[in-house]
Amino acid sequence: MNNKRINLTQFESMIGGTWSIEWLHGDPENEEPEAAINTQDYGTIAQTFYRDGDKESDATTKAIGATPELIAELKRCYDTMDTAVANLKELYEVTESSEVQSIANYLEGTASD
């Protein structure tokens, strides 16, 4: 597992709001999209095409449609981890517990193997 964080600033200018999926059930052989990803303010922002009856196509389309919510949830997780690390560092200053320091290092991604 990689302990590096995803740089969320790259998504700051992304189209916001709710993204919805419109299932079109097009024929990929004729270059017709399977689904469209729509936003309220911009309309269709993406279309998905799949070949050979790809079984993962529905899940992939749903993942694309959930992008704003996934990024927001990841940001909340990072904020929670940052708060936990700050609290652990304060606890370490009081207790000088190596276990507390190890947990803080792990959450920061600086733990030694």
Sheet holding 35-39, edge to edge: 19-23, 35-39, 43-48
Looking at residue 59, its pLDDT comes to 86
Looking at residue 4, its pLDDT comes to 85
Cβ–Cβ < 8 Å for 42, 15: yes
Residue written as token pair 């309309």: 43
| Residue 61 CB contacts under 8 Å (≥ 6 apart), including other chains | 21, 34, 35, 37, 48
pLDDT band at 70, cuts 50/70/90?
A: very high
pTM of structure: 0.77
Q: Please check the confidence at residue 1 and state whether its pLDDT lies above 60.
A: no
Q: Please check the confidence at residue 6 and state whether its pLDDT lies above 60.
A: yes
Pairing status of strand 35-39 against strand 43-48:
antiparallel
Q: Please check the confidence at residue 100 and state whether its pLDDT lies above 80.
A: yes
Q: What is the pLDDT of residues 14-29, one digit of tens each?
A: 998 899 999 988 876 7
| Residue 44 CB contacts under 8 Å (≥ 6 apart), including other chains | 22, 36, 37, 38
Q: What is the pLDDT of residues 41-54, one digit of tens each?
A: 899 999 988 766 56
